[in-house]
Amino acid sequence: MKQGLDIFNITDTRRRAITDADNLFWAILPKGSDESSKLSRDVLRVYDKFKDSLDKNMHDFRFSKKLSAVYINPTDKCNASCPYCYVPPAIRKNGRSMNKEELEFILNKIYKHTKSASKKMVIVFHASEPLLVKDVVFSAINKFKNKFLFGLQTNALLLTKKDVDFLIKHRVGVGISLDSQNSKINNRLRSGNFNQVNKALKWFNGYAGLNVITTVTKYNVRGLEKLVRFLHKKKVSCILLNPVRLTQKYSRKLKPDQELLAREFLKAVDTAIDLTINSKRPIIIANFANIILGIVSPFARRLMCDISPCGGGRCFFTITARGEMIPCGEFIGIRDSSGGNIFRDSITKAIESKPFKSVRGRFVEKIEECDICTFRNICGSPCPAELHAMDRFNKKAVFCEFYKKIIQHAFKLIAQGKEKHALRKDILGNLKYEYQL
């Protein structure tokens, strides 16, 4: 494995970066500076001073088992049929739904397990479509509003103005699925939710707890920049542009070309930065913001997919509508991934189960190519569920080349002093310098 400081040229700049891939120390230098220059000596002095604490903090961050969120699928059923869904069609069609008593039992059990934690646990109602059991979900939010922070991921097909008022009133973080500003393309991918999402965005009227999630496939990859402009006009301040997960066989046909994906994704990132600088309304691409954070403040990262090992079965897990505890929702269609059933077993048992340990046991030092990659702890080589389904569990990320390009771009923005425009203001407000050269 490659250890210590590494040096690389930053694409499209006259700059080079020195990094330690293990603790994510980095410095950006003029291209001409060599190891004996004063600049390099200054950098090495800072590196020597902070290396031990950075190593320790990074190890704690990566390998701690501090639960911070639980995803709950209150129903297996869905009213949409997205062609890349990681929930298998049979489960979406014939699955069961929780009743109020079951959901309350689960929330009480999670609360008892986590009440000594310093922060409120985040509960996210997620796939398939949680609004199919709206009464059950909203009743739980109302009852447990002082015990948890809540999130909800929805395709918006069943969302009403009254629901939106309720969600805003209870400060619920809401993710809405939309794949394109072009209604035809979107409706082909997202089961015709375009008009309903438009209505919902109007109702939310710039609510700060709203984000839009886009699954990027070969069908919508060329429209990401337009989508950013469209959502900015609709007062959306946070978007996730997630490359399609290839967990299910049918989703693999939709994989976008990585070169094209990186180009279009970065066009969208730059557009978001321009809009943020030149208008009064910020808009950020959250999965790119997380890459920037991975460099400038690795322990403040908010998405757990690009940390190694990932957050699945470690910082969060998923409870299916049948009560099965699985490391992450992506594992729902994968056999032998349950760590126990919440109605019978303890959460501790699930956390210590073989399937959970297996996900925690997949990390970049064990993966060929990642073990020598400078960016290994910025991208984290996701995703274990996707790679397990492809019989490549201990191989590098499916979108490795994409990650390399967007991390290069993140370093370029840092070299240009533009990185703060890619981050949410409330995140920046919570950060202070540990060191600065």
Partner 1 sequence: MKKKVVKNKKQNRQKFDNATVAYRLKCAKTGNGLSHFVMYGDAPKDQSPV
Subset of residues 40 to 99 that bind partner 1, contact rule: CB under 8 A: 42-43, 46, 50, 54, 57, 60-61, 64, 66, 68-69
**Distance between alpha carbon 384 and the CA centroid of its chain, in Å?**
14
DSSP string spanning 128-159? S-GGGGHHHHHHHHHHHTTTEEEEEEE-STT-
Minimum Å distance from CB 417 to partner 1?
7
Long-range contacts of 40-43 (CB under 8 A, 24+ apart): 42/437, 43/18, 43/437
Minimum Å distance from CB 394 to partner 1?
24
Query: x/- contact string, 196-235, with partner 1 (CB under 8 A)?
Result: --------xxxxxx-x-----------------------x
DSSP string spanning 164-229? HHHHHHTT-EEEEE---SSHHHHHHHTTT-HHHHHHHHHHHTT-TTEEEEEEE-TTTGGGHHHHHH
- The one-character DSSP state at 360 is H
For partner 1, give the closer residue by CB, 82 or 141: 141
Residue 319 contacts residue 106 (beta carbons within 8 Å): yes
For partner 1, give the closer residue by CB, 209 or 313: 209
Minimum Å distance from CB 33 to partner 1?
8
**Token code pair at residue 153:** 């991921």
Q: Is 214 left (phi over 0), alpha (psi -120 to 50) or beta?
A: beta
Asked whether position 29 contacts partner 1 by CB under 8 A, the answer is yes
Asked whether position 281 contacts partner 1 by CB under 8 A, the answer is yes
Q: Is 156 left (phi over 0), alpha (psi -120 to 50) or beta?
A: left
Residue 86 contacts residue 248 (beta carbons within 8 Å): yes
Minimum Å distance from CB 54 to partner 1?
8
Minimum Å distance from CB 435 to partner 1?
6
Minimum Å distance from CB 252 to partner 1?
25
Stretch 300-339 residues interacting with partner 1 (CB under 8 A): 300-304, 311, 315-316
**Token code pair at residue 356:** 């959970």
351 vs 379: CA distance, rounded Å: 24
Stretch 374-393 residues interacting with partner 1 (CB under 8 A): none
For partner 1, give the closer residue by CB, 64 or 108: 64
Instruction: Give 325's strand partners.
Output: 319
Minimum Å distance from CB 251 to partner 1?
21
Query: Could you tell me how many residues of this chain bind partner 1 (CB under 8 A)?
Result: 79
Instruction: Out of 28, 91, 383, 398, point to the residue binding partner 1 (CB under 8 A).
Output: 28
265 vs 243: CA distance, rounded Å: 10
Instruction: Out of 1, 3, 11, 30, point to the residue binding partner 1 (CB under 8 A).
Output: 30
For partner 1, give the closer residue by CB, 328 or 389: 328
Stretch 169-198 residues interacting with partner 1 (CB under 8 A): 171-175
Instruction: Out of 5, 39, 158, 390, point to the residue binding partner 1 (CB under 8 A).
Output: 39
**Distance between alpha carbon 207 and the CA centroid of its chain, in Å?**
20
For partner 1, give the closer residue by CB, 249 or 433: 433
Minimum Å distance from CB 260 to partner 1?
25
Minimum Å distance from CB 151 to partner 1?
2
Q: Rounded to 5 degrees, what are φ and ψ at 7?
A: -130, 140
Dihedral of the alpha carbons of 129, 135, 138, 141, in degrees to the nearest 10: -100
Asked whether position 243 contacts partner 1 by CB under 8 A, the answer is no
Max Cα–Cα distance, the chain, nearest Å? 68
The one segment of 91-99, 268-276, 291-299, 373-381 that binds partner 1 by CB under 8 A: 291-299
Stretch 402-421 residues interacting with partner 1 (CB under 8 A): 414-417
Of 215, 234, 216, 223, give the one whose Cα is nearest residue 275: 234
Stretch 118-157 residues interacting with partner 1 (CB under 8 A): 119, 122-124, 148-153
Minimum Å distance from CB 47 to partner 1?
9
Minimum Å distance from CB 38 to partner 1?
10
Stretch 335-374 residues interacting with partner 1 (CB under 8 A): none
For partner 1, give the closer residue by CB, 24 or 367: 24
For partner 1, give the closer residue by CB, 172 or 185: 172
- Integer angstrom CA distances of residue 75 from 47, 135, 155, 343: 50, 12, 14, 15
